[in-house]
Amino acid sequence: MTDTTTTTPDLSGLTVEQKAALTSGESFWRTKAVGDVPSVMLTDGPHGLRKQREGGDHLGIGDSVPATCFPPAVALGSSWDVELVERVGTALGVESSIEDVAVILGPGINIKRSPLCGRNFEYLSEDPIVSGVLGAALVRGIQSQGVGASLKHFAANNQEDDRMRSSSDVDPRPLREIYLRGFQRVVEDAQPKTVMCSYNRINGVYASENRWLLTDVLRGEWGFEGLVVSDWGAVNDRVAALHAGLDLEMPGNGGQSDRSLVAAVADGSLDEDELDVSAVRVARLAAGWAQAHRVEGPLDVEAHHALAREAASRSIVLLKNDEVDGAPLLPLRDDHSLAVIGAFAEKPRYQGAGSSMIHPTRLDDALTAIRAIAPQAAYAPGFSVAADADPAETERLRLEAVAAAAAAEVAVVFAGLPARLESEGYDRDDIELPTDQLALVEAVVAANPRTVVVLSNGGVVRLPFAGAVPAIVEGWLLGQAGGTATADVLFGAVNPSGKLTETVPLRIEDTPAFLNFPGEEGHVRYGEGIFVGYRWYDARQLEVAYPFGHGLSYTSFGYGDATAAVTAEGDIRVGVTVTNTGDRAGREVVQAYTSLPGSGVQRAPRELKGFASVELAPGESREVTVTIRREDLAYWHVRAGRWVVEGGDYVVEVGASSRDVRATAIVSIAGDEVLLPLTRESSLGEVLAHPVAGRLVQQALAGMSEMMEGAASIMPEGVSMERMMASFPIGRIGMMAGGQVTDEMIDGLLAAANAPRG
């Protein structure tokens, strides 16, 4: 249960040295015990607990305690299942509590700006609404057990290349609308106990030293109440970081940072009150953990493995399932003669490399799970995952696999990315599957057209065989129970319902950040602006392999007409009746997108604003309600420096993916008033649109009608003088007015317009 009775610790008796000591780690994973404040442990997640054993290596990679390895975010996000994600979070909290871990470092909700990011397997989506909603569910689950979550990596950390120095140079609108929006949702909805700042600079300023980010936005605008912890080694200047709002530096560094803070207080460059604020936040976290209810062990390993299996099966995305001989190839029958091909079937790729590597309590493989259902299934490895595989051996493995495929009714090929190709710390070079695997798939399909490809990958891959293979299953990285979950889906024990939370492109050259990734000379320019992921592909009308939100089922769903109405709270209530039109029970994820034709600002053709899921028996119909929050309709008004909902008739598109719209509704939204101060640099068009100044200028223009008519008479027919003059600064209008408009008149006009109203 969540503890809500923690009182603010009294640190008045501590010295400056003791307070400084509270703000940095004692060791790699623990904070310091100071006075009555106990030491607490923070340790890695985010899809399982990675706690170092006593006496193990200091990083905890080589010798961590066994823990349930749940599906990483790349898979779990594809479930679009808020309730399931929260249950996984609860399980993470339980395991952390049993192991006396106060904070588990996750979830990671950075946007998948480019498919090349080596850490994309730890992130949920290319869309901030999906990331925010599911991230909040994870935090709620974790913190329901008294354990703290650590929302990361804050912010604009969207690549691994040069991640500890490079500057993410982002304009205000995309920064707010794409890269911060998910963080804002999690903070406001779930209040994580900690937020982890990222390594990188943001527009030239280290995240760890960015007061605008850590204090003005995070605390001032969003109301964050917890503490900010550094990513491990992210602090460049401890004094500057503390002033910016970074409370806890991790890991410990032998007291060097503490001494710098003490010296800064002594010489007056740091106010002791600032140090007190951070020390209290750390002490409050420690006191809260000391008072929290503990979950008694031992861990129910089997129950958590069962949850991992459920989560994995719900995360699998059926990309393609064409008919072969009059029927869809999947699900498989247990009496099919099967050839299971591919090394990943026997030795699963189930998690990514780096700080999130979990020592699983057990590990299921797909080959064993398939043979438990179809005992006679043949197996051929087909390829080697070694980087230096011998060409002759590669050819032998391929021929062996082709022979097995030719002798079977159905071939199931497990293909994917070897672990060395995607990891924390470096980015991928391309989105290609290894050439030997592509050659294997081509050869197997030639030998047996009834071929299923099952993918194991932490980031999207190009699928050149998509046109030739009748069935493709995106298995992502599915955690420790992924092998059994894959068999559940292949044989129909589980009807797949996962949907893509990122677009699968046809080629890397089509991707939004292609010309701006990974940057150069310490800077990466986010030149695509707000057009990230599906927003980019839709705006440019680019063909894709599989669109955002796509995912098939073994049944089918029909959609009725959509309705959209504004609630008393100002939100949009979207309703649509969904019917299971097939012969199997299934689950459909209903997605709601909005657009505003004729908007005064640049927008994507459609943006996801809400989603909901429904489980239906064959023939069953139910109304599904999706609530779109009013604040999610807002764009960041750069000149006003705030969120603004633009008024107008919004198009609400309801569908099964971003490119499979099933129903449309129109809803009228009242806009927020934006009244910017007028200056001499304001354009004539802006002044005319002003409720006060507009009337006065119209009168002045009426007095200039003879001059305007004369100017218009020498222009080609159809040329609009009004449009020509719309961008003309009002301060220079006098030169066009032949003395009829003076500077005094303009200044009086501006004063009247900017005077307080009401």
Residue 137 exposure: Cα atoms within 13 Å on the Cβ side:
19
Tell me how many degrees the CA angle 444-446-450 measures, rounded to the nearest 5.
Answer: 70
**Read out DSSP for 379-406?**
EE--S---TT--HHHHHHHHHHHHHHHH
- Residue 254 neighbours by CB under 8 Å, 6+ apart: none
* Integer Cα distance of 312 and 484 in angstroms: 9
* Integer Cα distance of 427 and 424 in angstroms: 8
CB atoms within 10 A of CB 688: 17
> Six-digit token pair at 758?
């009401």
Compute the 3-state secondary structure of the chain and give helix, strand, coil in percent, each to the nearest 5: 35, 20, 45
Radius of gyration of the chain (CA): 29
Indicate the residue type of 409: E
- Three-class DSSP category at 544: coil
CB atoms within 10 A of CB 188: 15
* Integer Cα distance of 101 and 103 in angstroms: 6
Exposed, middle or buried: residue 306 (CB in 10 Å: 0-12, 13-18, 19+)?
Answer: middle
- Residue 68 neighbours by CB under 8 Å, 6+ apart: 48, 49, 91, 95, 299, 301, 304, 305, 307, 308, 358, 360, 361, 479, 480
Q: What is the dihedral of CA 306, 307, 312, 314, to 10 degrees?
A: 110
* Integer Cα distance of 419 and 412 in angstroms: 21
Sign, CA dihedral 309-314-316-321, equals: positive
Helices (H), 113-191: 128-143, 172-174, 181-190
- Residue 610 neighbours by CB under 8 Å, 6+ apart: 129, 574, 591, 592, 626, 627, 628, 629, 632
Antiparallel, parallel or unpaired: β 648-657 and 586-595: antiparallel
Q: Containing H/E element for 74?
A: helix 73-76
Question: Are 649 and 665 spatial neighbours (Cβ–Cβ below 8 Å)?
Answer: no
Residue identified by tokens 């590597």 is 357
Q: Containing H/E element for 44?
A: strand 42-44
Q: Report, as residue numbers or ranges, the catalytic residues.
A: 231
**Read out DSSP for 547-593?**
-TT--B-SS-EEEEEEEEEE-TTS-EEEEEEEEE-SSS-EEEEEEEE
* Integer Cα distance of 129 and 185 in angstroms: 8
Residue identified by tokens 């007061």 is 211
> Six-digit token pair at 382?
């087909």
Exposed, middle or buried: residue 269 (CB in 10 Å: 0-12, 13-18, 19+)?
Answer: exposed
Q: How far is CA 443 from CA 392, 399, 497, in A?
A: 16, 9, 30
Q: In what order do the strands lie in the sheet with 227-230?
A: 42-44, 103-105, 148-154, 194-197, 227-230
The residue count of the chain comes to 758
CB atoms within 10 A of CB 707: 14
